[in-house]
Amino acid sequence: MAVDKRLVGLVGGVALIAVAGFGVRSVVASGGDDNEVAIAGDALDKASAAALAHTGEGRVSDTEVGDEESLYEVEVTLDDGSQVDVQLDENFNVVGEEADHANEDESTESGENE
């Protein structure tokens, strides 16, 4: 009977480790923000195409469904390294754009040091 208790404890411990490992992997994969869900499938293709057509250059570096400003948000890294968040509605029409001001601050600071 003592073996049965050890076996139950071992199985329970393994299950606990598996659940904890899955939770850590899920947080890392989502960037640690439980509220962000990446665009996937056909919607990703359409949103990426719309955002890149709007910016005229760059590459898609991040996406989000259910953003606070719109249904879809596509972050585009432009050829000069700056980033733009393109906001899209449910029909993949551009409804807004926001430049990443952190990169602009860094480029201004580096220009002052030269």
Residues of the chain with pLDDT under 70: 1-34, 101-114
CATH class for the region spanning 41-113: alpha beta
pLDDT attached to residue 33: 53
pLDDT of amino acid 70: 93
pLDDT at residue 75 in the model: 97
Rounded Cα distance, 111 and 11, in Å: 60
- Residue spans of the domains in the chain: they are 1-34, 41-113
- C-alpha distances (whole Å) from 76 to each of 9, 58, 59 are 50, 6, 5
Q: State phi, psi for 48 to the nearest 5 degrees.
A: -65, -45
